[in-house]
Structure 1
Amino acid sequence: MNNVFFFIPYNINYLLIENKKKSNKFIYLYNDDYYFCIKVNNSIFINKDTNTIKLSDDSFNNKNKLFNNELNKFLFSWDNLFFNKIKFTGKGFKFKKKINNLFLYFNRAHKCFFIGNNIILKRLSKNKVILLKNNYNHLINDSILIRNIRYNNIFTKRGLRFSRQIIYKKKGKTAAQ
């Protein structure tokens, strides 16, 4: 028997509704802004002290752990923000931030820009930007899109990178004598 445990944050309310005729159970999760419904056909145990819900499943399903992780991230993202910091290095490189759009000037003939959708951009310094979003997967996709505009060059170490990304430097041609 597999069990799925998930924690409900204290700012989210829950309600268990049972339909005895059809033997269906629904868990409604809600707060002031959002609501979410889960249909459950198996046994449910709710621990009010720790605010956890335990779902017991008789059939073996290897996706229970994935469901548990994704649901926990989803519930956490209702009132919290995830962030990612992007740095760029290079002489003459600059950027402008207008609303939630990022215009990058990299001494190129064509325009490089990123139009943010439901994302908060904050300028930290001359060469640092922080991205804030409540969905972790969308944040990672958006930050990878920005980083792909100008890769970090291994010869000159110029370009866009994540703040804690490891930077590789390629050796130049030197006469070893």
Structure 2
Amino acid sequence: MLKWYGSRNKIKYNFQKNSKIYFKNKIKNNSLIINKNFNQKFITINLFIPFNWNFIIIQKLFLPNYIYFYIYNLTYFFILPVVKTALFLKYDYQTNNLNFKFLFTNNFYSLFIKFFKIIFYSFSKLFFTKIKFKGKGYYIYKNLRNTIALQFGYSHLYYIYSFFITVKFLSKTSILIFGINFNDLNSISYKLYNIKPINIFTGKGIRFSRQIIYRKTGKISSYR
């Protein structure tokens, strides 16, 4: 084995050495590795798996850095791809709770999990709200097409269409709205509420059940 100790070999050695130092400093400055002075920031996500759902953890051979959570029941299924390198996973058998701990914080993780929980839990529980009407001449009734009609003294018709919401007729002054989609339930409820908002002077109009309403006593002349 021959070694060259000339000036050209020394230049090549210094170039390789400096390039390695530059690469290490670049990684250190970009916080791509964990050192002693690195402040670890974790984002923790708890996901409760209902008892009528099952899950399987899958790792594909051609994608070793990803693991897939296959959550399923008799009708629906979800597939969640998660990066394996920056993940700490824990499962509690007693509470049936999955605990994810991500090393690198990202706002999109929190936003995605928030909407995923709304969709996922909507298959196992119902969301509902109760709306009441107060005022002389304000009432609701069912017409010939089995449609709930609102009577608020308007001369024109106002239609609200809902495809994933069920409305139950409780009385002439109250209805119950429920469904599995939380966002659709919220939008329909506020559309009904905005038809005839509550009047702060008379207390008449549409309000949600258990809604706190502050009434005014009247104009300035009533205080004198």
> Aligned residue for 1:167?
213
> Aligned residue for 1:102?
148
Q: Which has the higher strand share?
A: 1
2:83 corresponds to 1:38: no
Among residues 113, 130, 133, which one is paired with 1:88 in the alignment?
133
Among residues 96, 113, 120, which one is paired with 1:51 in the alignment?
96
Which whole-Å CA distance do the structure 1 matches of 2:194 and 2:172 have between them?
A: 20
C-alpha contact (below 8 Å) 1:2/1:56 kept by paired residues: yes
Deviation at 1:69, TM superposition (A): 4.1
> Aligned residue for 2:202?
156
C-alpha contact (below 8 Å) 1:8/1:75 kept by paired residues: no
Which whole-Å CA distance do the structure 2 matches of 1:152 and 1:67 have between them?
A: 36
Q: 1:175 to 1:61 in 2, by over 3 A?
A: closer
Q: 1:100 to 1:86 in 2, by over 3 A?
A: farther
Bigger relative contact order, structure 1 or 2 (CA pairs below 8 A, ≥6 apart) = 1
Which whole-Å CA distance do the structure 2 matches of 1:146 and 1:13 have between them?
A: 38
C-alpha contact (below 8 Å) 1:101/1:114 kept by paired residues: no
Alignment gaps of 5+ in structure 2: 1-41
2:191 corresponds to 1:145: yes
Q: 1:18 to 1:127 in 2, by over 3 A?
A: same
Q: TM-score, normalised by structure 1?
A: 0.86
Higher Cα radius of gyration: 2
Which whole-Å CA distance do the structure 1 matches of 2:112 and 2:138 have between them?
A: 43
Alignment gaps of 5+ in structure 1: none
Q: 1:105 to 1:92 in 2, by over 3 A?
A: same
Which whole-Å CA distance do the structure 1 matches of 2:76 and 2:147 have between them?
A: 27
Q: TM-score, normalised by structure 2?
A: 0.70
2:179 corresponds to 1:133: yes
> Aligned residue for 2:61?
20
Q: Which has the higher helix share?
A: 2
* Residue identity (%): 34
Number of positions where the alignment pairs a residue of Structure 1 with one of Structure 2: 177
Among residues 116, 121, 124, which one is paired with 1:79 in the alignment?
124
Q: Which amino acid aligns with 2:44?
A: N
> Aligned residue for 1:5?
46
C-alpha contact (below 8 Å) 1:7/1:52 kept by paired residues: yes
Deviations 1:7-32 (A, max 9, x none): 11111111111113211211111112
Deviation at 1:81, TM superposition (A): 0.6
Q: 1:38 to 1:97 in 2, by over 3 A?
A: farther
